[in-house]
Amino acid sequence: MGKAVKIAATIAAVLLVLAAGGMFWLAGFTATGPRQTLDEARAWQQGRYDTSFYDDLAEPEYTVEGDGGYLLHAQLLRNSEPTDRYVIISHGYTDNRMGSLKYARLYLDLGYNCIIYDLRGHGENEPAPTTYGIREARDLLCVIEDTRERYPRIAQLGIHGESLGAATTVMSLAYGPAIDFAVADCGYASIEAVLRHGYEMAGVPAFLFDLADLGCRMRYGFALKDARPIDALDGSSTPILFIHGADDQFILPENSQHMCERAQGVHAIHLIDGAGHAESALVAPELYREYLEEFLSQL
């Protein structure tokens, strides 16, 4: 009996170690996926539209002290026509500030200066886990505050985000930032629903999300289940526009629809036919600009 108990205990210990290792691996896979370099992201953009305006308008990069003193690399694209309107653009997961250029070109045409920056763990920033909007939202608050101090003559300041950047944009609203409008493109209402859907589409057990969540709590000190941008809309009166690709199979359009239903201030939603994930501004740039202009005219 004693030998059987020892064998059982050994097996249990091995299984426990494997489970713990699996949780830590899932956490790392979920929060620290491959990142693009600035050159890679710029090349991807150049292959789809004219990005030459960047070289003409970009000012020297600078750093902003984000949440907990984490340094964020940022850059101003100053409009060729003098303007006191600004927008801060947040990119998507694995991308960097070069991925924001497809939106910057639209805002520049509409008379805005554009601030693009690397989210934590992306671009030229130091390696760090992605918290799916939890810490990123607090970073964005720091960028907003820095922008108002750095460029004091601001008549209008907005924030615009894509995917992870959209979640960051929406989650920042819970803190009542000093902004005039927000635009969320292909954002998620909760990362839990997105990841569970992804696991299901991949044919793997959905309970892996729970292991990833526990692994993130233990390894990085945050809970995936707390990444719920939709909850940040409660009590927020900030005007917000939701845009989503109608054919997005990664983050389903219903995410933006649910958030729009929850919004309490001026709000609107548009689905772009024929656009997959983060493709709306590429598939229909003129329509996208029209929706932006219509929304901004109400402010």
Residue 11 has pLDDT above 60, yes or no: no
Q: What is the value of pTM for the model shown?
A: 0.93
Q: Are strands 62-65 and 71-77 parallel, antiparallel or unpaired?
A: antiparallel
Residue 290 has pLDDT above 90, yes or no: yes
Residue 3 has pLDDT above 80, yes or no: no
Residue 28 has pLDDT above 90, yes or no: yes
Please tell me whether residue 152 adopts helix, strand or coil conformation.
coil
How would residue 148 be classed by pLDDT, with cut points 50, 70 and 90? Answer: very high
pLDDT at res. 12? 41
Residue 24 has pLDDT above 80, yes or no: no
pLDDT at res. 78? 98
pLDDT at res. 21? 61
35-39, 206-210, 285-289: lowest mean pLDDT where? 206-210
Q: Tell me if 137 sits within 8 A of 67, measured CB to CB.
A: no
State in Å, rounded, how far the first CA of the chain is from the last one: 77
- Quote the mean pLDDT of the chain: 93
CB contact set of 30 (below 8 Å; sequence gap of 6+): 195, 212, 215, 216, 224
Whole-angstrom distance, CA of residue 89 vs CA of residue 54: 14
Residue 16 has pLDDT above 60, yes or no: no
Whole-angstrom distance, CA of residue 273 vs CA of residue 270: 10
Tokens of 99: 């991925």
Where in the chain are the domains? 1-31+192-225, 36-190+227-296
What pLDDT digit, counting tens, does each position of 257-282 carry? 999 999 999 999 999 999 999 999 99
What pLDDT digit, counting tens, does each position of 190-217 carry? 999 999 988 888 888 888 899 999 999 9
pLDDT at res. 202? 85
Task: Give buried/exposed letters for 83-112 (b at 16+ CB in 10 A, else e).
Answer: bebbbbbbbbbbbbbbbbbbbbbbbbeeeb
Q: In this prediction, what percent of the chain has a pLDDT beyond 90?
A: 87
Residue 73 has pLDDT above 90, yes or no: yes
**Is residue 151 exposed (0-12), middle (13-18) or buried (19+ Cβ within 10 Å)?**
middle
Three-class SS of 186-232: CCCCCHHHHHHHHHHHHCCCCCHHHHHHHHHHHHHCCCHHHCCHHHH
| DSSP 8-class letter at 37 | -
pLDDT at res. 199? 87
Residues in the chain: 299
Tokens of 209: 């999300």
Residue 13 has pLDDT above 50, yes or no: no
Average pLDDT of 110-114? Answer: 98
pLDDT at res. 4? 56
Whole-angstrom distance, CA of residue 69 vs CA of residue 285: 37
Average pLDDT of 118-135? Answer: 98
pLDDT at res. 206? 83
Query: Strands (DSSP E) along the chain, which ranges?
Result: 62-65, 71-77, 85-90, 113-117, 156-162, 181-185, 240-245, 267-272
Closest of 60, 130, 148 to residue 90, by C-alpha: 130
Closest of 170, 203, 194, 198 to residue 184, by C-alpha: 170
Whole-angstrom distance, CA of residue 72 vs CA of residue 203: 37
Q: Which CATH architecture has domain 36-190+227-296?
A: 3-Layer(aba) Sandwich (3.40)
Average pLDDT of 51-75? Answer: 98
What pLDDT digit, counting tens, does each position of 229-240 carry? 999 999 999 999
pLDDT at res. 253? 98
